[in-house]
């Protein structure tokens, strides 16, 4: 049975209140396609019955699983290439020079999904920045979805996933084939800590970050949520830190405290000196 107007409205409101994700009218097909597997998982016979359960007392665990089902987890290794080139050529060399006294780097991946982004950087750090051995490199990767975090921690990927964007030399060096899947070696998995974090709720106390990867998540938020998240990212960044946004994202008209860096298609920003003063 398909989704009625009032049921769509309820799902839309619950998802927005919980995650900030905006489901515009016309997205009924998307909601239906994501709710059908959830019905099977919950052993509920129909979508109307599932929505009814959302109205019942004690529905919070179901709400969590609903939001989990509605989040888009599109990602790939070295997605878009250019941000990683900017990291490799400009950002990391600059930070390594700036932090040579403290020998510590803090990197936050704010919507890490199944882990390809933090693991891409981890492989790059291991392969191309031997000078960081002996440094403390804290990499925190967060996401709203406990399901994708579990997959990320496991570091196990399908053939399709390792085919997408992962250099073959890294596949050979950092993965082991297990059945039809490919498992990331422990030395790389251990470089990243995965935690649950909802960007539109109050953030836990985070250490000052040298790099914040906030890519391809704000596109799902409305203007107010985008402003709040950008403002939070600015506060958590060190004065000379770097913010990365997705290819379709910009702080323009949302937060004027960022300067775009001249690395082509990298979506790389620093905090304006005037903002710091």
Partner 1 sequence: MNALIVDDSRAMRLLLRQMLVALGFEVAEARHGREALSHLQMRPDTQIALVDWNMPEMNGLELVEAVRADETLSGVRLMMVTTETEMAHVQRALEAGADEYVMKPFSKEIIADKLALLGLSGGDAHAA
Q: Which residues bind partner 1 (CB under 8 A)?
A: 76, 78, 81, 159-160, 163-165, 167-169, 171-172, 175-177
Nearer to partner 1, 64 or 163 (CB): 163
Nearer to partner 1, 180 or 253 (CB): 180
Nearer to partner 1, 7 or 126 (CB): 126
Q: Nearest approach, Cβ of 56 to partner 1 (angstroms)?
A: 42
Q: Which two tokens stand for residue 252?
A: 């323009």
- Reduced to 3 states, what is the DSSP secondary structure of residue 88? helix
Q: In this structure, what are the phi and psi dihedrals at residue 196, rounded to the nearest 5 degrees?
A: -80, 135
Q: In this structure, what are the phi and psi dihedrals at residue 120, rounded to the nearest 5 degrees?
A: -60, -45
Nearer to partner 1, 116 or 270 (CB): 116
Nearer to partner 1, 182 or 194 (CB): 182
Q: Nearest approach, Cβ of 248 to partner 1 (angstroms)?
A: 12
User: CA angle, corner 128, sides to 184 and 177, nearest 5?
Assistant: 20
As to burial, measured by CB atoms within 10 angstroms (0-12 exposed, 13-18 middle, 19+ buried), residue 23 is buried
Q: Nearest approach, Cβ of 82 to partner 1 (angstroms)?
A: 9
Nearer to partner 1, 109 or 170 (CB): 170
Q: Which two tokens stand for residue 9?
A: 């409205």
* Distance of alpha carbon 52 from alpha carbon 201, whole angstroms: 26
Q: Specify whether the CB–CB gap between 270 and 243 falls below 8 A.
A: yes
Q: Please, what's the largest Cα pairwise distance for the chain?
A: 63
Q: Nearest approach, Cβ of 170 to partner 1 (angstroms)?
A: 10
Q: Nearest approach, Cβ of 83 to partner 1 (angstroms)?
A: 12
Q: Nearest approach, Cβ of 188 to partner 1 (angstroms)?
A: 16
Residue that has been written with the tokens 């515009």 in this structure: 24
């Amino acid at each position: 049975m398909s989704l009625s107007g009032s049921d769509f409205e309820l799902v839309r409101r619950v998802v927005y209140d919980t995650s900030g994700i905006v489901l515009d009218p016309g997205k009924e097909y998307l909601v239906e396609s994501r709710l059908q597997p959830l019905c099977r998982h919950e052993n509920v016979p129909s979508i109307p019955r599932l929505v009814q359960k959302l109205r019942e007392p004690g529905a919070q665990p179901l709400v969590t699983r609903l939001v989990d089902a509605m989040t888009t987890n599109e990602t790939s290794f070295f997605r878009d290439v250019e941000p990683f080139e900017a990291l490799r050529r400009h950002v990391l060399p600059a930070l390594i020079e700036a932090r040579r006294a403290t020998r510590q780097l803090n990197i936050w991946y704010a919507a890490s999904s199944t882990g390809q982004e933090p693991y891409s950087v981890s492989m790059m750090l291991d392969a191309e920045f031997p000078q960081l051995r002996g440094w403390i490199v804290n990499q925190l990767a967060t996401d709203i979805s406990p399901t994708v975090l579990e997959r990320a921690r496991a570091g196990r990927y399908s053939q399709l996933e390792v085919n997408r964007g992962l250099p073959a030399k890294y596949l050979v060096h950092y993965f082991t084939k297990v059945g039809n899947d490919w498992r990331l070696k422990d030395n790389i998995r251990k470089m990243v800590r995965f935690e649950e974090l909802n960007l539109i709720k109050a953030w836990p106390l985070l250490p000052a970050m040298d790099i914040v990867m906030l890519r391809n998540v704000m596109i799902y938020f409305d203007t107010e949520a985008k402003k709040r998240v950008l403002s939070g990212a600015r506060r958590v960044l060190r004065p000379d830190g770097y913010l990365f946004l997705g290819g379709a994202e910009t702080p323009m008209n949302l937060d004027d405290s960022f300067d775009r860096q001249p690395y082509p298609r990298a979506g790389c920003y620093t905090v304006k000196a005037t903002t710091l003063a």
